[in-house]
Amino acid sequence: MSHPPLDPALFDLDPSILWVMHCAEGPIPLATARALAGFLKKELHPWEVDFAGDFLGSAARAREEAASLIGVRTEDVSLTMNTTTGLEIVAQGFPWREGDEVLLPLGEFPSNAWPWKSLEARGVSVREVPLWRGHQAGREAWDSPPPTVECDPEGALAAAISPRTRLVAASWVRFQDGLRLDLARLGQACAARGLPLVVDGIQGAGTHLPDLRFASAFATGGHKGLLTPQGIGFLWTREAFRQDLVPSGSWLSVEDGSNFGRASTDFSRAWLKDGRRLEGGGYPALACTGLRESLRTLNGAGIPAISAHVARLQANFLEGLGGLPRWKEEARRLAELLGAGRLGPILALHHRGRGPEGLNAALKAGFARGIHASVREGYLRLAFHGFHAEGDLTRLLAWLAALS
């Protein structure tokens, strides 16, 4: 029996509801709601808002917590609105040459497709790479076999690199099938060919620790595993990679940007070298306050403790699932992936011929029991976090057993 590293009392959870869908949206901690209310109250009286402490400070503190969360330097963190904006900053700032190609795994969440596809007008193409035998996406997504422990997604991507490839962009944890890529292995394969690896990290952030030793950028929104309100996220970039990106062009991205002692209209300034170089103007101080508080809660519990707890819950759940004839094969497939370190926080149960009707009926039966799960492209997704408890597993198994 393991105790949740995030005490459920830190949240306003309703005991009649079992929320296993932080892969769509996570609950914010009560402390975050209090911090937001406190900041809003100040905004009623702008004379009480301190420019350095509340405005610049909210952003600085959020960057610090973000850096601790993923184990990087604070100066390499840029605040963004969501995952997409982080990836757009890289896509728009990268020094492309006509004819370049971006390599993506097949079936990425569109946040990691459209920023690259928007470059087509600049002569940059996008190529998707199937990650396992028979892997399909798009209109054929429901016909795809699921990933198994034999799959080698990093090997498939590395083998697909062509002389035109300039950058590889991949989700760390995939949104539909829950597969977790080995960022160190993929990053190494990219680095060996002089290519940057850019990561969409949102489905693993907050429950797992990314290995960014060989990556160049990591973008995440906050509203899933990071348990923040919608509309705030961050981007980590490796320093050398960042210096090659064209800055976005904000008044706070240049030296002395916030120093009103110097004429703001004096444009002879250098771009900052740190993460602020890529940020987009006046900070969303309210959202930064929320981001900081949620990340403080996560950092307080510790990501290693959260990921160990999530893995324990997943293993125990899969053991129970293995006892249900209808889900036996899925339980085995997922237990093997879990054992191989291939999963993030999402257990994605493949439909195995039941189709959208089958999974949607399962969802509906779950809602009737207060269980909120989600379905995406062939999979029933159950996402665990640090606030889930062993008792939640019993409830989930009773629901799935009743479907058998």
Report the residue number, 5 or 344, with the smaller CB distance to ligand PLP. 344
Report the residue number, 10 or 173, with the smaller CB distance to ligand PLP. 173
Task: Give least dist CB 112 to ligand PLP, A.
Answer: 6
Report the residue number, 39 or 172, with the smaller CB distance to ligand PLP. 172
Query: Can you give the binding site for ligand PLP, defined by CB under 6 A?
Result: 82-84, 109, 111, 171, 175, 200, 202-203, 221, 233
Q: Which residue is nearest to ligand PLP (CB)?
A: 221
Cα Rg for the chain, rounded, in angstroms?
A: 22
Task: Give least dist CB 105 to ligand PLP, A.
Answer: 11
Q: List residues bridging with 350 in a β-sheet.
A: 379
Pick from 49, 78, 48, 46: nearest CA to 62: 78
Report the residue number, 65 or 200, with the smaller CB distance to ligand PLP. 200
Task: Give least dist CB 203 to ligand PLP, A.
Answer: 5
Task: Give least dist CB 171 to ligand PLP, A.
Answer: 4
Report the residue number, 204 or 257, with the smaller CB distance to ligand PLP. 204
Task: Give least dist CB 233 to ligand PLP, A.
Answer: 6
Report the residue number, 196 or 221, with the smaller CB distance to ligand PLP. 221
Task: Give least dist CB 397 to ligand PLP, A.
Answer: 26
Residues 356 and 271 sit within 8 Å (Cβ to Cβ): no
Report the residue number, 85 or 253, with the smaller CB distance to ligand PLP. 85
Residues 70 and 236 sit within 8 Å (Cβ to Cβ): yes
Task: Give least dist CB 262 to ligand PLP, A.
Answer: 35
Report the residue number, 187 or 204, with the smaller CB distance to ligand PLP. 204
Residues 388 and 2 sit within 8 Å (Cβ to Cβ): no
Task: Give least dist CB 221 to ligand PLP, A.
Answer: 3
Residues 374 and 346 sit within 8 Å (Cβ to Cβ): no
